[in-house]
Structure 1
Amino acid sequence: MPAPRTPSVSARRRALLGGVTSGRGALLRVRVAVGALVAVIVIGTVGYVVLGFTPLEAMYQTVTTVATVGFREVRPLGAAGMVFTMVLILLGVGTVLYNLGVLVEAVTEGHLREHLERRRMDQRISDLSGHIIICGYGRVGRASAAHLLATGHAVVVIDSDPERLVGVEVPHLVGDALVDDTLREAGIARARALIAALEQDADTVYLTLSARALRPDLVIVARARTVDSKAKLQLAGATRAVNPQLIGGRRMASFALYPDVAEFLDVVMHDEELDYRIEQVRVPEGSPLAGQSVGQVDVSGRSGAQLLAVRMPSRGHFVPNPPPATVVEAGATLIVFGDPGQVRALRELVGTPQGGAG
């Protein structure tokens, strides 16, 4: 007996689009039903005006007729008026019943509630700026979101599987991250970074290409499921390509060889309750520190943060424990160790906005 086949990515996308189309179709039916009711009222009002009613009398007569409340006629009706009223009753009752059916269907199936929730979520996302977009809410995406939220950063999650997003309180979108419109809805134009954690490397490469085309300056961190795909993701435009299995294996080896060092770095980088952090601070163009030597900058003395390394734009690589004579270039990245107050003082010293990552 053949093993059951797992639905393909394209099949899941078709199912997702089918659900979205169904929701939009229900809302469209509501609009059509309401529009038809308005049209019947307008036609009835115009008809009664032609029969000699005033506009107010005509609208009153139309509403009472369509609603079948049984009030008497505002004015006596001739033969033409009686025929028109019968036609209006048939049209009006049919339209009202159709409206009731459509509204009951939309309410019972949850389409209206979903639409209102989607509107609120879209508003929350449109208010965000400097947030991080996480595409794919599997194990890697959830872990990334949890750490970012714990450290006070705004997050928008995109996933094509609505089951993964049930009960998720953070701003999120049920959609295909490979579609440019979905990335635009997630606020990619205002985002600080994007984390691509999709199930397939081919999808991650496509997402990276799309995101890079939409935002050439965006920081893109892509999850690579294989070692070979890292190079492809970087060629596609990823700022960093990360293989969780490779990193996990190296961390396990580090704990085996240097347990105290590995634990210290793990606590400093990932323990949200610890005040001290290893942070990066970019030296912008026009900074008062640009062009000065490390000895003149005196990061520790002026801010309290410890300077661990520096990366110069002209060199590209890190210079650990830089000598005092090392000249800090504009655009350099300082890797420092300190508490939030010390890092904040250093950002003010170099002229970097709060929250700037560099």
Structure 2
Amino acid sequence: MPVPPPRQHLVVVGADTTAVRLVEELVRTGEEVVVLAPGGGDPGAVADVEALGARVVAAPRRVGEADLRAVGVPGARAVVLLGDDDVGALRLALVVEELAPEVRLVIEMANPRLGTTLTELIGDVTLLSPAELAGPAFVAAALATADTQAFEIGGRMVAAGPRERVTGEELAVLANSRLTGIEAVLPAGPGDVVLGTALVAPPRSDARRSGVPGALARVFDRRARVVVVGIVVLVLLSTLYFHAGGSSWLVSLYRALTTSTDTGDGDLGDLSVPFRFGAVAIQLFGLVLSAGITAVIVDALVSARLAAITGGVRGRPRRHVVVCGLGRVGTAVAAQLKARGVPVVAVERSEDVPGVLEARRLRIPVVIGPASDAAAQAVAGIARAVAVVAVTDDEAVNLEIALVARDVNPRVRVVTRMFDHELAARVERRLELGTTRSVSMLAAPAFAAAALGRRREVIFPVGRRVLLFTEVTVHAGSAAPGRSLCSLAEEGVSRLLAVAPAGGGWDWRWADRPVEAGDRLAVVATRAGLARMLRATKAVRPPAGTPGT
């Protein structure tokens, strides 16, 4: 006999790494979660979800109305649809809306046009893109700058970032980047990442920008410069030669220029016959050098034109960022780097990937080939790049890209997308391959906040950790009323920023007092710290089967 689904629970459709992190977020807050795994889901993800305490229900690859009823969608508080099939998500969203018109719906969606259509058809729906949520963290790591964000919380605009980038009143110390692990965030002592009231104007990027200087540098590359130097040396030697033949310095320079470049009237009548033969030799060398510089410039212009047509790399890019993999995450990272004025070169194995078309639309050069191949990396200019971002959908390929890139250019900054959190920590510590980032770790808090109907949290990455800024309401029947405000925050995992009593305004200079039902709290916390605070402020629901439920 099948186990009846719970009531007022949360349903997650999909079983991948994002689902695991999302379930972890929800279970930490004491929520009941049922996961519907299309096609059985990823076995590793299913095992992780079950270990977290969520119930997993297998379903056919094409989920139908019966499957949604089996996991209790009509009695659920929220349904989260995960996966890379936007059309399938649209179909399931319409079925969910028919089964439970009042349910809160959260959808992973990449295509903005479909998303716009969905919001017109369904009322209470939130569309989120893990790639867009995680992109800023990859960009900040590639540029070796702690991310800066300005946002509203507790009734005022605030700014979070490195101390040198934040100005105005200092409201809280968020992290100490010189420490590692959990000790780095919300330290008891001083720190270099703070919360203030305004951002300092961002510094100019140290990467070379495009424009006239960049175009000239591409045309007059190393080959053209060698030929030009050869012509200059020939002119100088020819000037000395003609001066030795009895001409003045000015006349000698004129004859050197006209002879070596085959211009002018060629009047050498006052020179002796042996010197005239020498002038012929100079003329021959000049013709060779002039033909050489013409060939180099024509080759550069034709190559630039072909690169513009095909979307390839022009010339020899320098001080740029190489993005390996143009899936959803790679495309988002490349677009955000381009928007910040940073030169970008992308590498993608297949030309048929939609991200290639998007990159070419944004005028981002694309190298078609395996990103882990040294030849493809050489074309992308990794030897002259400031950073390499490996964001393919294969963890092993990302590691291989990082190893090859570090071997080609030991000074390059490497940012690697990893799926296994423990493996990522070991890679950073033991292999010293640079920074690692997890898309699911960065995106899961936003999905959890949307599923629970909370105001969307601001996600602020600090290394592999994330800090969450949000506002929490103290509910009647929770464990918080009667406790002191200071007791709600825990050193190192959560910090209380501002307090607003029920019906009152926000106070950023609050004094400790007993917590009352209806209080609103503006907090910054780690994922674990926020989960504990939500459990303390959430009303306790009576067990299922209790009269009145």
Greater relative contact order (Cα < 8 A, sep 6+): 2
Larger relative strand fraction: 2
Higher helix share: 1
TM-score, structure 1 normalization: 0.48
User: TM-score when scaled to structure 2?
Assistant: 0.34
